[in-house]
Structure 1
Amino acid sequence: MGDLEIRPAVAEDVPAIVAMLADDPLGAQRESPDDLSPYLAALQRLAEDPHQHLVVAVRDGRVVGTLQLTIIPGLSRRATVRSIIEGVRVHAEERGSGLGTQLIEWAIETSRSEGCRLVQLTSDTSRVDAHRFYERLGFTASHVGFKLQL
């Protein structure tokens, strides 16, 4: 395996990111790799917001992983700054290589450097393997999440 670089995503990375987002039963229903225009517009919005970090993991010139880290200032928990990790994906050929751990460790360290005292994430209830992965990294299933489609 070649050296790994974790860096901010750029427009040229969007096709690979969307392909990874769509590469599972849930993502296949939610993502639309045939039309990248909404993803490119979203990347622009993310790039303009200093509280957003959309990154890719690149090995040998190829995008092999991604995640989004959002920094959220708040008043609760004695004005704790927290972060949310979302959209964690590892290319099928890299699963089991430790790349997912490296991405999450990057997110935790970046959260610390941004002054966060709490890192949180959600995971679809059907992603049992992902839940075990996050628990191995020290995350606890402490809350029940709710979503409302608009």
Structure 2
Amino acid sequence: MSDLKPVFVLNGPNLNLLGTREPEIYGTTTLADIEALCRQTAESLGVGLVFEQTNHEGALVELIHTAGAKGSAIVINPAAYTHTSIALLDAIKGVDAPAIEVHLSQPVAREAFRAVSYVSLAAAGTISGLGARGYELGIRAAVQLAQARAK
């Protein structure tokens, strides 16, 4: 097992509905399926994982704070808060943990308002449009960033 603190994978509003919500956009993969993929990826890298989902902006801010204190890195799918939440931007900027932003779909290819991401202003990188595989890639990137910082 790595000396790194766990990676926090944080999920925003409505992602608890994955599998049934707009399958033409998000597919039929459930959040439980994504969690299993994330746990498998983290285990293969020898790091711990904390996986959370909330529909509440303030709770997501608090999870980011916890991740900054108890984790080595953050993988975050802020969902709709991507385009509206300066609070999430400030929370990510305020903690000492690299963040990777992940989206199942390709937001910029959808409605015009989805082209703006406040979270991207603080994230080390963004992965979008690759479905659940984006989480796997996000965890791998987050671990690499955390390892580089630990040296």
TM-score bracket for the superposition, by shorter chain length: 0.3 to 0.5
Bigger Cα Rg: 1
Between structures 1 and 2, the one with greater helix share: 2
| Larger RCO (alpha carbons 8 Å, 6+ apart) | 2
Scaled by the length of structure 2, the TM-score of the pair is 0.35
Between structures 1 and 2, the one with greater strand share: 1
Scaled by the length of structure 1, the TM-score of the pair is 0.36
